[in-house]
A and B are shown apart, each in its own frame.
Chain A
Amino acid sequence: RKEVEQDPGPFNVPEGATVAFNCTYSNSASQSFFWYRQDCRKEPKLLMSVYSSGNEDGRFTAQLNRASQYISLLIRDSKLSDSATYLCVVTLTGGGNKLTFGTGTQLKVEL
């Protein structure tokens, strides 16, 4: 089983749609969770951290389910500019660098 698993997509959605991505992780000791965004031929950039209670940043909502070991990202009212690859990142804290990336989910928002 992969340490961090994502559906690669692509997810093709019309502008204005709501879309959700899931990401599962295998290590129950994982403690920090993030979503990064990577545009085509660009570097990854932090989109948002994921907190235990769930958190929202504008049109983006992130949730964590520790019991089922998955995190999710919900994008409401999709914009063309949301088209990118969304990377799930999981970190084990407590010594050493154990930051693990998923392969990413590609989103294409269309007119």
Chain B
Amino acid sequence: ETGVTQTPRHLVMGMTNKKSLKCEQHLGHNAMYWYKQSAKKPLELMFVYSLEERVENNSVPSRFSPECPNSSHLFLHLHTLQPEDSALYLCASSQDLAGASPNEKLFFGSGTQLSVL
């Protein structure tokens, strides 16, 4: 148990559906992240939040919409996704912003395996 909880673990959705992924961290961390992991590709950073403020958006299509209502919760709202969006979506947190201080470590949730039909 890493202290980062993601739900749901699995999600199958059609291209016209709207769904949300939820992440909660119990570690008192200040930074939270969404990553996408596709087969044979490195983890792709999607969004970064520090103290509830979005600090990075890596050219992610608008069909992905993040929300960070407080420092413990992070959502990823999904709308009109494409089949190529099928992947493992990982939430992570760190005490402070990774890259802003050396040796900052990420703690990952178990991920949501998303399939878009």
A contacts, CB < 8 Å to B: 4, 8, 31-32, 34, 36, 41-46, 49, 87, 91-104
Contact = CB atoms under 8 A, between A and B. Distances in A.
A99 B101 CA distance: 11
Contacts of A45: 2, 108
Contacts of B111: 42-43
A42 B90 CA distance: 10
Given A43-B110, A91-B104, A97 B97 contact: yes
Contact count band on B: 20 to 34
B105 A97 contact: no
A17 to B, nearest CB: 26
Q: Classify the interface of chain B: helix, strand, loop or mixed.
A: loop
B15 to A, nearest CB: 25
Given A32-B103, A43-B108, A43-B109, A97 B48 contact: yes
Interface in B29-45: 31, 33, 40-43, 45
Name the residue in A42, A97, A102 with the highest tally of chain B Cβ atoms < 10 Å from its Cβ. Answer: A97
Interface of B: 2, 31, 33, 40-43, 45, 48, 55-56, 90, 97-111, 113
Nearest to A44: B108
A42 B110 contact: yes
Contacts of A46: 105-107
Given A94-B99, A97-B55, 4 more contacts: A43-B110, A95-B99, A96-B55, A103-B42
A40 to B, nearest CB: 11
A17 B107 CA distance: 30
B11 to A, nearest CB: 15
A102 B42 CA distance: 5
Contacts of A32: 102-104
A96 B104 CA distance: 12
21 contacts: A4-B42, A31-B102, A32-B103, A32-B104, A43-B111, A44-B90, A45-B2, A46-B106, A49-B103, A91-B104, A95-B99, A96-B55, A96-B97, A96-B99, A97-B33, A97-B56, A97-B97, A97-B98, A99-B45, A99-B99, A103-B42
